[in-house]
Every structure is written in C-alpha cells, then in structure tokens.
Chains A and B, each alone.
Chain A
Amino acid sequence: MDIFVGLASVLSDPVLLGWVFLAAIVGMIVGAIPGLTASAAIAMLLPLTFYMEPLPALAFLYVIGKSGRYGGSIAAILFNTPGTAASAATQLDGYPLAQRGMAGKAMKVATISSVIGDFVGEILLILGVAWIASIALRLGPPELFAVYFAAFIVIGSVIGKSVTRGLASAALGILVAMIGLDPISSTERFTFGSFDLTNGISLVPLMIGIFVLGEVFTQIESRGAKTEMVANDQGDAARNRLSWAEYKPCLPHVIRSSFIGAFIGMLPGLGSAIAAFVAYGEGKRRAKNPEAWGSGALEGIAAPEAANNAVSGPSMAPLLTLGIPGSTIGAILIGVFLIHGIQIGPTMFLTSRDLVFALFACGLIGIVMYGVIGYFGAAFVGRFITRIPTHVLYPIIFLTSFVAAYTSRGNLFDVYVMVAAGFAGWAMRKLHFNPAAFVISFVLAGGAEETFRQTMLMSDNGMMIFVTRPIALVFLLIGIAAMAARVRSVNRQARALAAGTSG
C-alpha cells in the first residue's frame, strides 16, 4: 500500500520526475562510456546533491545507479568493450550480433531484459524490505557484529582476482576508518599529531578519490585509444526488428536470471558482475542451444542483462534494514542519508517510511524511463559517446573531482585526502587489490566496532558469546565458509593453470 502512496506523490511532482528523467539519461551515458562507472558518476555528483531536498537527491543518485548498470550493455554491444564489469557477459553474444548488423535487435533484447530484471528486483525489495527490517530490529549487538564480520569476509574474499589482496583491501579500509577520535573514549587514533586527522577521513573525498580520480589515473594508460562503434550500415530495419517469437525463448532465462540477480544482490558486496556471470553460466547450462551461446544468441544477452539489473533493488535491502551497504553505490548513498540527517537502519521504516517508499517509486519510474529511452535511443547514445574525445573528457573529470571533493565540506584538507585516495585507487587497481572492498569496509568499520564493543560489554565469557547465540554463529560460519570456498576455487584455478603451463 505504501508504494502506491509513494507512486502518487512522485507522479504529482514534476520537478522530482525531471530529476529522475535526468538521472536516467546521465546514468545511461556514463554507464556506456568505457572506463566510467555509475559509482564514479554518483561519487562525483554526490556533493551537488547536498544542496537538494533529500528525496530528489536520493532518487537522482539511485536512478543513475540503475540506468548506469543498463548503460554498460550499450558499450558491450556497440563498442565490444563492456562499459561496466557487469556487462562483460553481455558482450559475449551482443557484439557478434552487432557484427552481423543486428546491433539494434541486440540492444532491444538487452533493454527489455534489463527492465524486467530491474522490475523484479525492485518489487522483491518493496515486498520484502519492511519484513527484513522488522527482523533486523530484533537483532542484538552480537548478531549485528556477526553480520558485519560476514560482510567483511565475503566482500574481501569473494570478489576480485586475489583472496589475500581482497581481504587486505578490507583490512586497509578498516584501518583508515579508525583514523580520528575513538567515538566512545575520544582517544586519538592514527592522527600522528595532525589536527586535520582528528576529525577522521571523510567518506565523500575518499570515494571521489578511489572511484573517480583513481579511474582518471588508470585511463592515462589508455590515452589516445579511440572508442570505435561497430559499423551499422550493413544493418537494416527489418533485421533489427524484434518479434515476440524471437523474444519468447528469452523469457524463461530472464525470469530465472532476475531471481538469481535479486538473490545475489541481497548479499553484501557481490554485485552485478557476479550476478551476470552466474546467470549466463546457468542459462547456458539449461539452454536448448548451448552451442549458439557466445556467437550471438539472444538468450545470451537476455540472461546476464536481467541478472545484473535485478541486483539493483535488493542491494538496497542490507543498507536500508541494517545500515550495511550491499554495493559501492549503497556505500555512496550513505553519504546522502547522513548529510540530510536520516538515520539508516531498521528504525528508518518507523521514522522515514514515506521517504523510503517514495524512493522505491522513483526507482520504478526510473526503470520505465531508461527502458523507453534505451529502446528507442540506445544507438543515438552510442553515436554520442563516440563523439566524446577521451583526451578532453578525462581532464574535465579530473578538474571536477577537485571541486566536488572541496564542495562536500568546504575544506582543502579533503582535497588532499581525495588526491591520496585517487593515487591509492590507481595503485590498488594496478596491483589487483579491491577498491570496492576497501570503501565498503571503510563504511562498515564504525558500525562493526561499535557492535563489537557493545557485545564485549554484554558478555561474561568474552568471545564465547558469539558461539552461544545461534544467529551470530550462523553468520560467522557463512563468512568463513564463503572464504574457504573461494580459496578452494582459486587454488583449483592455480593448479589448472600450472598443469596447463607444464603440459
């Protein structure tokens, strides 16, 4: 019922609709530019939203995230370069179709599948989030710490190319979050006598540095490279028309992949890329024509696109119910909630229920908007992007990151933090560390420490309290099991690689 009230209030506000529309376009363009991600755009635009009302600010960034995930498919299909990691699976079948002059058809399949996946994810979020929040309200500090612990381990070990470096990224994020005054005893930690550091490291410049400036440093390595769009002249309107008979076999894949994406989205830190590849693998395994996958099967576009967009809504569930961001976009949105004085966590459904459901309504409207724009205008967006010279785009992003970092608190120290984070972000990418794990752990560390210390005060048996509380124990075991599974899979890969090299 709340969602209908939310929809009515959003639809009656033309200014808010304008922000959602703008976000749908901005997200699509940013997602389609190879190298730029929706996270980078959101981090850069975050300080601007401090001057907006809470709902337009949140809706603007939330819809950029959704539209950006979809926008990645434009680059994957038209440029043979995934605009985001999540659309790399789409490229496998999308680009071969584009080469055969059917880019328009591939884009239409990607658009419809993304819209269905996103809708499924958003509706599951709307139906389930209040229920999860009511359960979260009953969790005590030991259980909450166990959830944080599982999140650190999953985020650090499951994504990225190296388990040790992923976990090290999470540990570094925790250490950087400790800089400043201890919130309980006001003891100085890691300040080295610097007054500026006593306030701690601010989230906004850190994120702008890692996601925006870090990407600018990375892009220097590919300067001069031109974005080439697949030649479209051999395509004609008839070949690019999508009929119901052609899309019908995609539907089972879309529905299955939407649920896969929604489930993966609820788990902190896994994100769209993993959802897309899991859905692609599962789709190919169940397909009637697995041999066609990888050479231009429409189902091979539908499955990963539905999954990577279905992640979007459910990834908000841990953020809104526990205050634990499930994705980098969630981590960035925390900044908006905090700056507008909105307490995230289960009590949010008591204090800001209208705002939450209005945000979900904006999400639903945003899906429709990017769906319509994408269905009719994806090729135009592709052509527009090929006209943006990267040797002008990235210097502009470079300059914008400085003013955005300053704007967040009007403090030049934050700009130094942003520069340091930018260089660190580049180094992390270069050395296969995990910038997302670093940032999410930075965000989680404060809450994790608070719940851990509360647990220790509650406990008569020290750490044994985690063993005596079943829910806490389950989450601790989930974390350890996820890490063990990942270590096993990496070792298996290493052995296979060694066998391949020696043989």
Chain B
Amino acid sequence: MSSEAAPASRGVGVALILIGIGAFATSMNIGLDQYGRWGARLFPLGGSIALLGLGIAEIWGARPTPQSNKQHLPAILALLALSLGYVWAISAFGYLISTAFAAPVALYIFGLRNPLGLGAAAVLCPAIYHGTFFVALGVFPPLGKWFDLLDVIGGY
C-alpha cells in the first residue's frame, strides 16, 4: 500500500462525466412500475449522478499528469485481441482446437520463443484442461458451431 495520492486527471474526469451522462440517459429510459413509481430507476440514477459529480470533482482538482509509459501497450492489445479471438474460436471450433491455438500464442506474447515448448503447449494444454474440467469434473464442454474435434474423437 502506498500512501502517495494519485493526482486528479482531466481525462479521467471527462470519461467519468461521459459515462455518467450515458448512464443517466439510459436510467431515465427504465420503465416505471405498474403504479407509475420510479422504484427501478432510483439506484441506477443514484449511481449515474454520483459518477457525474465525481467526474466534476476530478476535473476540479486536475493537475498536469506525467505522460504514461505506453511501451507495453502493443503486448496488452495483442493479449486483448487473443482473448476475444479465443472466445470466438471456442464458439466456432470448440475448446480443443481453439486452446491448441491460444496456448502457444499466449506463451509467445509472454516471451517464450522455444519452438519445442510452444509445440508442447499446443498439445498438452488442451489435453490437460479438457481432461480436468470436461472429463474429470463433468462440465459440459462448449461445442463448436462450425467444427468440433470432439465429433471426430468420439466425445473424449
């Protein structure tokens, strides 16, 4: 825990205000109950107004902040793209094939360059996770819409 306070930032304040305005507008579209009361709107409105107020407070105390280090942004965006692609691939090709693809890519993003290691991950990771969660624990596996290796290997 560091006791040093983070400086207020204009960008964060503007973002909070924009989220607050969006949430406020959406909250006002929440339907009234059968007696015409605001019951379901109250808490969403409270949260939205709080965000608006906090955004204004953040801008009020804003000071110039040092430029943040963007050196790792490409790797973070690559991991985000892999995450989204991985979930989509699970829905299209099932768990085994998509994990065989995602495991070496994740290792590569984290700096592993050994081809043998990457190849082993492509085989071992799907096998171990599938065996643990979908065979041993009995969770129903996510099946691919387009193709699923489980259809070929008979469910195992």
Contact = CB atoms under 8 A, between A and B. Distances in A.
Interface of A: 48, 51, 85-86, 88, 161-162, 164-165, 167-168, 171-172, 174-175, 178, 182, 184-185, 187-190, 213, 216-217, 220-221, 223-224, 273-274, 276-277, 390-392, 394-396, 398-400, 402-403, 406-407, 410, 412, 415-416, 419, 422-423, 426, 430-432, 445, 448-449, 452-453, 490, 493-494, 497
A165 B51 contact: no
A274 to B, nearest CB: 7
Contacts of A178: 43-44, 47
A431 B19 CA distance: 16
Size bin of chain B's contact surface: 35 or more
Contacts of B140: 410
Nearest to A494: B5
Contact of B106 (A85, A189, A399): A399
Contacts of B33: 184-185, 187
Interface of B: 1-6, 8-9, 12, 16, 19, 23, 26-27, 30-31, 33-34, 39-40, 42-44, 46-48, 50-51, 54-55, 57-58, 61, 68, 72, 75-76, 79-80, 83-84, 86-87, 90-91, 95, 99, 102-103, 106-107, 109-112, 117, 121, 125, 129, 133, 137-140, 142
Nearest to A216: B79
Given A171-B51, A419-B83, A223 B40 contact: no
Q: Interface on chain A toward B: helix, strand, loop, or mixed SS?
A: helix
B5 A162 contact: yes
B83 A445 contact: no
Nearest to A419: B83
B76 to A, nearest CB: 6
A399 B102 contact: yes
A162 B106 contact: no
A171 B34 CA distance: 28
A243 to B, nearest CB: 32
A189 B30 contact: yes
B80 A423 contact: yes
B1 A274 contact: yes
12 contacts: A174-B47, A182-B39, A184-B40, A189-B40, A189-B44, A190-B26, A217-B79, A221-B76, A223-B111, A403-B95, A406-B142, A407-B139
Q: Which residue among A171, A277, A423, A493 has the maximum number of chain B CB atoms within 10 Å of its CB?
A: A171
Contact of A415 (B30, B72, B87): B87
A415 B90 contact: yes
A171 B44 CA distance: 9
Contact of B99 (A161, A174, A399, A449): A399
Nearest to A224: B111
Contacts of A399: 99, 102-103, 106, 125, 129
